[in-house]
Amino acid sequence: MCGIVGYLGYKAIAPLLVESLRTLEYRGYDSSGIAVYNNGTQNINIYKATGKLQNLVEVLPADLLMEPPIKNLQVGIGHIRWATHGAPTVENAHPHHGHHGEVVLVHNGIIENFAELKQVLQGKGYVFNSQTDTETVAHLLEDILKSHQHDFLPAVAELRRQLHGAYALTMMHKQAPGKLYVARQQAPLVIGVGNQGEYWVASDVVALVSYTNQIIYLEDGQYAELSEEGGVKLFGPDNTPVEVKIHTIQTGPLTIDKKGYKHFMLKEIYEQPDVVRNALLERITSDTSPVFIANDTPVSEKESVSIASLSQDVDRVIIIGCGTSYNAGMVAKYLIEELVRIPVEVEAAGEYRYRNPVLNDRCLVIAISQSGETADTLEALRLAIRSGAKTIALTNRPDSTMAREVGGVINVRAGVEVSVCATKSFVAQIVALYLLGIMMCEHRGVAEKLAELPELKKALLTLPVLMEAMLSNVDPLQKLARKYGHYTSMLFIARGVCFPAALEGALKLKEISYIHAEGYSGAELKHGPIALLDESMPVVSLLSDGAVFDKMLSNCQEAKARSAQMISVTNKAIPHGYENTFDDIISYPACHEWVAPLLGSIPLQLLSYYTAEFLGKDVDQPRNLAKSVTVE
C-alpha cells in the first residue's frame, strides 16, 4: 500500500525523498507529496501532486532540487498514496498538516475511529480540507500538543492511546525543526542509520538500501524520536524506553530497472528460469534431500531454527495466504497431501483470521506472502502463533514483519518483484513449497512415495531449461491476445494440480487487462458456470498430461457444445476425435505431472500480459491495485 519515506541529514533533501519514493512507487501511485523544513522561513513547506511521481517532481521548485548551498540540516518526509479514504486528489494526498501548521505528517494504514475523532475535533473548530482519516491524526496531534506544552513525545503517547486501527506515521513538528518522529501500529516502518546522526525512515527497507545497510525495525506499538544530537530515542507500547537494536542487512543497493523490457511484468516473466535455478541452488540435487540453509534469513535469531524440525511431529498443515500466494498454496496442497499423506488445508487469510480455527501444537501453519507484510496474512499468522501451532513464513522478504515474528522462515528467493501483478514470486513460492513437501516426505518415510522423489527432483531441476525454451517463442501468445483481447469475459479451467494455475490465470487476466475472468475446475463447469457459455465467452483450458487429461477433454467438449471459443494450453498432443474441439492450441513441453502448473502458468501469464498491452493498459501499475496490501 502507500509508501512512506523520511530523511534527516545534510544531503539535498528533495531529490533524496523523490528517489526513495520512486523505489516504492509500485506500492501505490494515486498521488504523492513531500514536506520539507525550510531553514530560512522556519516553516514546513508541503508539495503534492496527483498521478505518477513525475507529476510531483514537476511542481517542486528548482532550488529545492539542488544541493543545499550551506551545511544546513535537512529534514523532510514523503508519501506515495494508495487511496483508502477519499479520492486521489491533491487535497487528499499526503503530507497532511494540522490546523495551525504545527504538525505535518504522512501515514500508512487505516484509522478506524477517525469519524468519531473528526466529529469531536470539528466541534472544537478544527477545519478539515480532505476526506482522509490521516488529516484527523494531524489535527488531533496538534490538539493534544496544546495540553502537553508542545512536548512531542508525551503527545505521541496520548495520540496512540486515542487512535484505533493501523498506522505507520512519520511526523514533523514545526517547533522541533531538527527532529523526526515515527510511530508504528500494524503497518511496517523501518529506520535507516547513517553516519554521524543521519537518519532515514521508510515503510519498506527497499527505499533505504541505496543509502545504508544499518536498519532498525520498529515493532508494533513502538514510537521514536530521531535527531542528530540525541540519536534514536525508542519507546515501547507502555511508553518506557526500549533498547535500540541495529541490524546489518545483506542486501546491497537495488537497481529497479526494466533492463530493456517494456514492462517490469515482462522482465519478471523472463526472469523465471533464473528464479527457479536460484530457488533450487544449494537446496537440492537429483539425489539429495532438500535443505533450507541457515543464511536463508538475515534475522539472526532465526538462523538456528530448522525448518526440518518444525515440519516434524505434525498431523495437519494449514496454508494461509491471499491472492496469488493463496493460489500457490493450493498447488502445494495437492503435492503435500500426495507425498506426505497428511491433510493440508488452504485458507484465505482474510477469512481465517476472523474464524475460530482449530489449531494446536500438532499443526504446521505456513503463511505464504511475497511481501511478508500483507495485513490479513500477518494477522492470521499471529493467530496461529498464539494458538501454539508451529509456524513458517514462506516469503520473498526474509526481512519482513512476518519473517521476524514467525518460528521459521523459507526465503522464496525470487528477487525484488516490482510488477504489481505477481508472476515470478508465484513460481518461486511453488518451488519452495515443493521442496518442503519433498523434505517432509523423506522425514516421514512414506515408502511408496519415496520411490517417486528422484523423478520429481529431476523434473524440478530441468524446469529452468524448459522454461527458457517456452520463453523463446511467444508469437502464438501475442496472436492469441490480439484475437481474444476484445472479449469482455473469459473462463479458465483445469483439473488436478493444474486447477490452481487456472485460478491464477484468471486472476492475472482480470488484474491487468480488466477483462472479467474466472477460474474453475473443469469438473465444476456443469454445476453452474456452463450456463454462461456461448460464442461470447472464450474458455482457456490448461490440459496437462496425467490422470485427469481425458476428464478435461470431456469438459472441453461440453464447453464446445455450448459454442464457446476454446483455447487449449497443453503439454500433450490433442487426440484424434477432438480436432474440432479447440479453436486455438498453445503447446508447451511434455513434463512431469507435478511441474505442469509451473510450466503451464507461463503461457497464461504471457496471455494476460500481451492482452493488457494490446488494450493499452498500464501493465505495471494497474488501476486500484497496490503491491503490498498492508491494510485490511
The answer to whether residue 627 is catalytic is yes
Distance of alpha carbon 155 from alpha carbon 140, whole angstroms: 10
CB of 603 to ligand F6R, least distance (A): 17
Stretch of 321-329, 533-541, 543-551, 567-575 contacting ligand F6R, by CB under 6 A: 321-329
Our finding on whether 605 is near ligand F6R (CB under 6 A) is no
Contact track, ligand F6R, 335-364, x by CB under 6 A: ------------------------------
Distance of alpha carbon 191 from alpha carbon 247, whole angstroms: 10
Rg (CA), the chain: 26
Our finding on whether 435 is near ligand F6R (CB under 6 A) is no
The answer to whether residue 233 is catalytic is no
Our finding on whether 400 is near ligand F6R (CB under 6 A) is no
Catalytic residue among 2, 322, 421, 556: 2
CB nearest ligand F6R: which residue?
323
Neighbours of 28 (CB within 10 A): 28
Our finding on whether 322 is near ligand F6R (CB under 6 A) is yes
Our finding on whether 511 is near ligand F6R (CB under 6 A) is yes
Our finding on whether 505 is near ligand F6R (CB under 6 A) is no
Our finding on whether 370 is near ligand F6R (CB under 6 A) is yes
Q: Do the bridges between strand 74-81 and strand 3-9 make them parallel or antiparallel, or are there none, so unpaired?
A: antiparallel
Closest to 477 measured CA to CA, from 522, 540, 524, 430: 540
- Which DSSP string do the residues of 373-436 spell out, in sequence order? --HHHHHHHHHHHHTT-EEEEEES-TTSHHHHHSSEEEE-------SSS--HHHHHHHHHHHHH
Dihedral angle sign, alpha carbons of residues 140, 143, 148, 149: positive
Our finding on whether 611 is near ligand F6R (CB under 6 A) is no
Per-residue cell: 189: 516502518
Stretch of 138-146, 304-312, 319-327, 553-561 contacting ligand F6R, by CB under 6 A: 319-327
Our finding on whether 325 is near ligand F6R (CB under 6 A) is yes
CB of 51 to ligand F6R, least distance (A): 22
Are 348 and 632 contacting, i.e. CB atoms less than 8 angstroms apart? no
Beta-carbon contacts of 335 under 8 Å, excluding residues fewer than 6 positions away, are 433, 434, 437, 497, 594
Closer to ligand F6R by CB, 509 or 533: give it: 509
Contact track, ligand F6R, 414-433, x by CB under 6 A: -------xx-----------
Neighbours of 411 (CB within 10 A): 23
Our finding on whether 324 is near ligand F6R (CB under 6 A) is yes
Beta-carbon contacts of 303 under 8 Å, excluding residues fewer than 6 positions away, are 294, 295, 297
CB of 594 to ligand F6R, least distance (A): 22
Stretch of 296-304, 323-331, 528-536, 598-606 contacting ligand F6R, by CB under 6 A: 323-331
Are 86 and 92 contacting, i.e. CB atoms less than 8 angstroms apart? yes
Closer to ligand F6R by CB, 423 or 544: give it: 423
Closer to ligand F6R by CB, 459 or 602: give it: 602
Q: Do the bridges between strand 31-38 and strand 74-81 make them parallel or antiparallel, or are there none, so unpaired?
A: antiparallel
Distance of alpha carbon 232 from alpha carbon 242, whole angstroms: 10
Our finding on whether 369 is near ligand F6R (CB under 6 A) is yes
Residues acting as catalytic residues: 2, 627
**Residue numbers at the binding site for ligand F6R (CB under 6 A):** 322-325, 369-371, 374, 377, 421-422, 507, 511, 628-629
